[in-house]
Structures are given as C-alpha cells and as structure tokens.
Structure 1
Amino acid sequence: MTTPQNHGATPRLRAAREAAQEVWIAFGGEADQVWLRPLRRGFRHCFAALRDEAGWTVLEPLSGRLVIARLAVASGYDLPGFYRRAGLAVVGPFAPGPARVAWLPALLPFTCVGLCRAVLGAGAPRAVTPWGLFRRLAKILRDDKKKFLTARQY
C-alpha cells in the first residue's frame, strides 16, 4: 500500500510507519531550573514513551536539547510500571494520532508539553503546563473507561 507519506519509502521504513504504536506520557520532576519553580511540584516536566512491536522509544525534551533513546528492552517490558515505581505519574496508553493541519506554524516555544501533544497528534488536548496536560489526559482515560464499563453488551 502506497500512501502519499509512504511514497518512495523503503519497505523497512514503510513497515515502521505502519506499525501499531502505543504512547505513554510520564510526568514528574523537581525544579532544577529556576523558571520551573512556579509549576506544580511533581508535574514540572513530561516526556513520551512509545511502544511498538520492536520495543520502546523514549522522547525526552531537556533544556537545550531533545533526547531520543531506543531502549534495549523487549516490547513486553512494563516500562510504565517501572516509571510508576520510580515515583512518576504515568498515563496511557494512547494511539498516536494524525499530524495537525494548520495554515500557520505554531508560535509557542518548544516545550515538553508541546512535544507530548505533537506525539499524541491532532486530537491531543490543549494544555500549557504538564499538570494541565496530565489532568486532561487522565480525564480522557476516565471517560473512556466509564463509556466501556457502562456500554450495554448484546
């Protein structure tokens, strides 16, 4: 299958783009930068972890650079559980959505929240702070669970 985004791509790249992925967003952090101190404690930073059939990839925006790491663990490894045991708040899984279509580029600075929203795609909730993103994502999960639990089975 050749879609416009896959046109001319190698078979390996095409397979990687079409692979099913899950996105988990982790929140935490202390105020290692002065400008982070006004943010809610425990929600001063966020990053994304993506799982596909080959394993885990972590996207972590740090001050001044972006770290992308392919972890040397199996795709069945419980990375969200590891992060929870380390004291981070983790929400997910989410399916990455399609890219946003916009007439103008975003005028906001590149932040950890912006990266996580970009990974989630066009359906990502609007948020400026990690705490705001956490609340909105947790609400989405609660509402989905409630819909699933209250749906009538025929």
Structure 2
Amino acid sequence: MSTRRLVHRRATDEAGQTVWIAFGGVADQPWLHLLRPGFRHCFAALGDEAGWTVAEPLSGRLLVARLPVPGGFDLPSFYRRAGLRVLGPFTPGEPLPQRLPSIAPFTCVALCRALLGGGAPAAWTPFQLFRALGGKEKENNHI
C-alpha cells in the first residue's frame, strides 16, 4: 500500500502539478446562505503538463473530472472571466502525520485544504480560506 502512495506522489512531482482554488457565491443549499456572499463555495483545479483536473465537492457527491481542454489552456483566467475569484498557483504540500484522525466535516474547504497539503492554513469557511491564502476581498477577480 505505501509503495502505491509513493508512486502517486512521485508522479505528481514529476508532472509539475499546481493547485488553483476558485471561490464563488452560488448556494445550492439553504444553510449556505449563512456564509459570506461571493464566498459560499470553493473548489480546486489541479494543473499539470497534460491538462486540468477539477475536484469539486457537491452536495452529497464528490466530482472529480479531467477536463477535455488542451494542456496549455488558461483555466484560471476562464474562471475569473466567469466571475469567480481564483488564487494560485500553489504547489501541493506533503501530508503531515497526525496522531488522531480529523473529526472535521468533509466540506469544500476541507477538500481544498487537503489538496494543498499538511501546511494548508486553518479555515472553516471559504472566505476564511480565501483570506488565509492571501486573497483580498476588494480585488477584481485578479491576483
């Protein structure tokens, strides 16, 4: 089992994988309206030399899709033009060993933090993650 993980880790290192985090305001569940407008959801896009993979937690389902776009496609700019705030690129970090498993719920923020690795900033809401990653609220969707 550990050999398989090492192969995966080596493959992502060799591919030069980067993580981009996108933030938006669409709320498909009533309780999400409690969150800050414009920061009610986040998801990750992983770029490598061959193209893009999107990891997006939806209500009751995790969507992971390899996008049918060329490797050089500028997905972050596409998302910005669509009105999302996008931060990145980030290099996926190494996992940190933990004595106990996390008891935090699986949310869009938890997924993005997991993709960023063990050094990801602490955050519970998309807006907290946005700010912790260096985003500025008054920007015009550009970093």
**The one of 29, 34, 37 aligned to 2:30:** 34
In structure 2, list runs of 5 or more residues that go unmatched: 136-143
Flag as ranges the 4+ runs of structure 1 deviating above 6 A.
Answer: none
**The one of 86, 89, 102 aligned to 1:90:** 86
Separation of aligned partners in 2, 1:30 and 1:5: 35
Once the two structures are superposed, residues 2-33 of structure 1 have per-residue CA deviations (whole angstroms, 9 ceiling, x without a partner) of x7843xx5xxx676333211100000032221
Instruction: After TM superposition, give the deviation of residue 127 of structure 1 in Å.
Output: 0.3
1:16 equivalent in alignment to 2:11: yes
Out of 16-25 and 71-80, give the one that drifted further: 16-25
Number of residue pairs aligned between Structure 1 and Structure 2:
132
Q: TM-score, normalised by structure 1?
A: 0.80
Question: What does 1:113-124 correspond to in 2, within 5 Å?
Answer: 113-124=109-120
Question: What does 1:101-116 correspond to in 2, within 5 Å?
Answer: 101-116=97-112
1:59 equivalent in alignment to 2:55: yes
Q: TM-score, normalised by structure 2?
A: 0.86
Find the residue that maps to 2:72 and give its secondary structure: coil
Contact 2:80–2:86, Cα closer than 8 Å, also in 1? yes
User: RMSD of the alignment, in Å?
Assistant: 1.8
Residue equivalent to 2:128: 132
In structure 1, list runs of 5 or more residues that go unmatched: 140-154
Separation of aligned partners in 2, 1:86 and 1:80: 10
Separation of aligned partners in 2, 1:14 and 1:38: 37
Separation of aligned partners in 2, 1:27 and 1:105: 27
| Structure with max Cα Rg | 1
Give the % identical residues: 65
Q: Which amino acid is 1:91 matched to? A: L
Residues 98 and 15 from structure 1, CA distance in 2 versus in 1: closer, same or farther, beyond 3 angstroms? closer
